[in-house]
Chains A and B, each alone.
Chain A
Amino acid sequence: MVTMTAGRRPFITPRAVLLLVLTAIVLYPLVWMVGSSFKAPEEILNNVSVLPDTWTPENYPDGWTHFDVAFGRFFLNSAMVASLTVVANCTSCLLAAYAFARLRFRLRGFWFAIMIGTLLLPSHVLIVPQFVMFRSFGWVGGPWPYLPLIVPHLLATDAFFVFLMVQFMRGIPRELDDAAKIDGCSAYSAFRHVILPLSRPALVSTAIFSFIWTWNDFFRQLVYLSDLEKYTAPVALTLFIDSTGQSSVGPMFAMSVLSLAPVFLFFVAFQRLLVEGINTTGLKG
């Protein structure tokens, strides 16, 4: 970016200097984390430098096998939960959004108001009764303990994505599905042949944000997963809290870097979309 002097205006203005300094401060923890994951254990904590004095990749294999279950298993579990959440959210929220945005039925305004009301409902408020309920279904600690993490998404409980898609569909010209209906399409085939193909951009946003938020999510996974074998990456990372001492610092850094890598790759690939998408959301991120 420094090469962008381009002739017309000098690049080195006070504003540019200030921005560069701020960027350095803001990015320092992240860059330092990546650099430190390649440092020897005794060097990590007290070397402020971003670059290691001596490069060693040792932390990565050490971290991978640090606990009784390999970290690959935790990453696979995380990837599975996140992918299933993406599919569940994209399907269920799209169906609900179509009803709200395009179909006329009794009490639609009422249900829509309720949906908006649940937008700001903190998940912590419902965690106790949900846990009690899912436990009574035999889902908690069952053979596949991810049911409580996935099933709510199948039921379109992420009101935020419903809202996002409703807003998007309102921007699709109504003439299109009206025309389809005049040609004899039912509400179902108008959905399949008109709304579904045109909603792709909203689905992409939903998929990316669902994945990132689920990948980073900790609270619900902490509550529902109790078997080491079934841990997701964030829950497994907290195991490093208890195993203090120099020997686990390096592995902890290495596994932290690995666990952020997918989100970072998403950021690189979809930067524009994510930054613009946040305008619709504001919250989280």
Chain B
Amino acid sequence: MSNVSVTTRPTQPRPQSGPAAHQRRARPARHRDDGRAGYVFLSPWLLGLALVTAIPMLVSLYLSFTDYDILSPWSDIQWVGLDNYRTMFTDDPAFWHAVRVTLVFALIGTPLKLGAALGVALLLNRSFRGAGLFRGLFYLPSLLGGSVAVAMIWRSIFDRTGAFNVFLGWFGIEGKAWVNDPSTALGTLILLAVWQFGAPMVIFLAGLKQVPVELYEAAEVDGAGTVRKFLSVTLPMLSPVIFFNLVLETIHGFQGFTSAFVLSGGTGGPVDSTLMYTLQLYLKGFANFEMGYASAMAWVFLLTIGLVTVVLFRTGRFWVHYSDGDD
């Protein structure tokens, strides 16, 4: 199994010398039939690309300029031009609530999650017996945490009579109904996301193993202490992995749906405080049947995620250090 992970570990750019070079050599006539075979093998994927991705994207773009509730026949579709977009930006407070909630969730949750992941990875990055067991146990929430079941449990823990308040009671602190209070409901969602720090932690651990020991030895010779070594060796060497995790977790964060749906009982409440963007999109499309409006929201979402990714890659140039690159 290890070769699966080794070949795609983010810190290792795919070597150009191996299979690719060989390909060039082994080109002669026996590959002639590859052309047709290639498309035969690719045909399910091509069909999927057209049917499940490309055509729906175009339909979605079209629908976003229309007023369409799914219940009436196709002929009832009303072309409304940019009305959906105009309403969204100027006349729909819930839209802006959703944008705010999603931004807070992603921009606060992601750094906290990555911080926890890096911190625990540093603790585990030492060979001792049982290290593998700890790694597995910390990873477990990542495997289970996205489920409806865990979100239901989370809801009970942070309820008025829930376990968290009993715990606070031991210290004489009066708790409250955390999930029903608009000022703290989103906090419980963020906590649930941070709790699932195991997946990025595993990736950090793999990255830490790649840092050459010589660098630490050289730093020690130069008199660097623990903090100095972390700042001057670990962080720069780990920056490609940090970047990889940051991009994935940010995009992932924007798409949080299940926990918000469950903790708010499918409403995004209390007072829109957990109205994640995807939840609002779902409510517009599948509760109100405003398919046109929901499509417009989907396109704004897609463009925003694209923009955020581009921005991340742009800023990445300034702090991501590739040791095998030119800089």
Residues of A within 8 A of B (CB): 1, 4, 6, 9, 15-16, 18-19, 22-23, 26-27, 29-30, 32-33, 44-48, 92, 95-96, 98-100, 103-106, 108, 111, 114-115, 118, 120-122, 124-133, 135, 152, 154-157, 162, 164, 167-168, 170-171, 174, 178, 181-182, 186-188, 191, 201-202, 204-205, 212, 216, 218-219, 222-223, 234-235, 237-238, 240-242, 249, 252-253, 255-257, 259-260, 263-264, 267, 271-285
Contact = CB atoms under 8 A, between A and B. Distances in A.
B298 A275 contact: no
Dominant secondary structure of chain B at its interface with chain A: helix
A171 B12 CA distance: 14
B212 interface: no
Nearest to B74: A136
Nearest to A236: B148
Given A202-B4, A216-B146, A4 B130 contact: yes
Contact of A168 (B7, B27, B146): B7
Nearest to B138: A26
A129 B23 contact: no
Instruction: Say which size band chain B's interface belongs to.
Output: 35 or more
A38 B291 CA distance: 44
Given A125-B301, A201-B1, A252-B152, A22 B120 contact: yes
Contacts of B110: none
Contacts of B257: 124, 218-219
A152 B4 CA distance: 25
A128 B123 contact: no
Given A174-B23, A279-B202, A104 B1 contact: no
Nearest to A92: B44
Contacts, number: 340
B305 interface: yes
Contacts of B152: 237-238, 240-241, 252, 256
A155 B59 contact: no
A191 B41 contact: yes
A92 B51 CA distance: 15
B203 interface: yes
A151 B254 CA distance: 26
A53 to B, nearest CB: 14
Contacts of A22: 120, 123, 138
A145 to B, nearest CB: 14
B248 to A, nearest CB: 5
Contact of B8 (A26, A120, A279): A279
A178 B26 contact: yes
A142 to B, nearest CB: 15
The 7 closest A-B pairs by CB, nearest first: A155-B48, A105-B38, A187-B37, A256-B149, A129-B56, A285-B199, A285-B142
Contacts of B134: 1, 19, 23
B39 A15 contact: no
B84 interface: no
Interface in B251-299: 251-252, 254-255, 257-258, 261-262, 265-266, 278, 281-282, 285-286, 291, 294-295, 298-299
A122 B281 CA distance: 13
29 contacts: A22-B138, A27-B137, A46-B162, A46-B163, A96-B42, A100-B42, A111-B46, A122-B251, A122-B254, A122-B301, A128-B63, A128-B285, A129-B295, A152-B52, A157-B52, A188-B40, A191-B41, A218-B258, A218-B261, A219-B257, A219-B258, A222-B261, A235-B148, A237-B152, A263-B144, A276-B2, A278-B202, A282-B200, A282-B203
B70 interface: yes
Contacts of B23: 104, 174
A186 B33 CA distance: 8
A133 B56 contact: yes
Contacts of A171: 3, 7
Given A167-B7, A205-B1, A238-B266, A1 B130 contact: yes
Nearest to B139: A275
B70 A263 contact: no
A277 B298 contact: no
A15 B119 CA distance: 12
Interface string B1-36: 111110111100010001100110011001101111
Interface stretch (B91-99, B153-161, B213-221, B318-326): B153-161
Nearest to B200: A282
B244 interface: yes
A29 B150 contact: yes
B281 A274 contact: no
Interface string B43-69: 011111101110111011001000000
A278 B139 contact: yes
Contact of B30 (A48, A135, A182, A280): A182
A44 B152 CA distance: 14
A118 B306 CA distance: 12
Contacts of B298: 124-128
Interface in B113-150: 120, 123-124, 126, 128-130, 132-144, 146-150
Contact of B265 (A100, A154, A223, A242): A242
A105 B262 contact: no
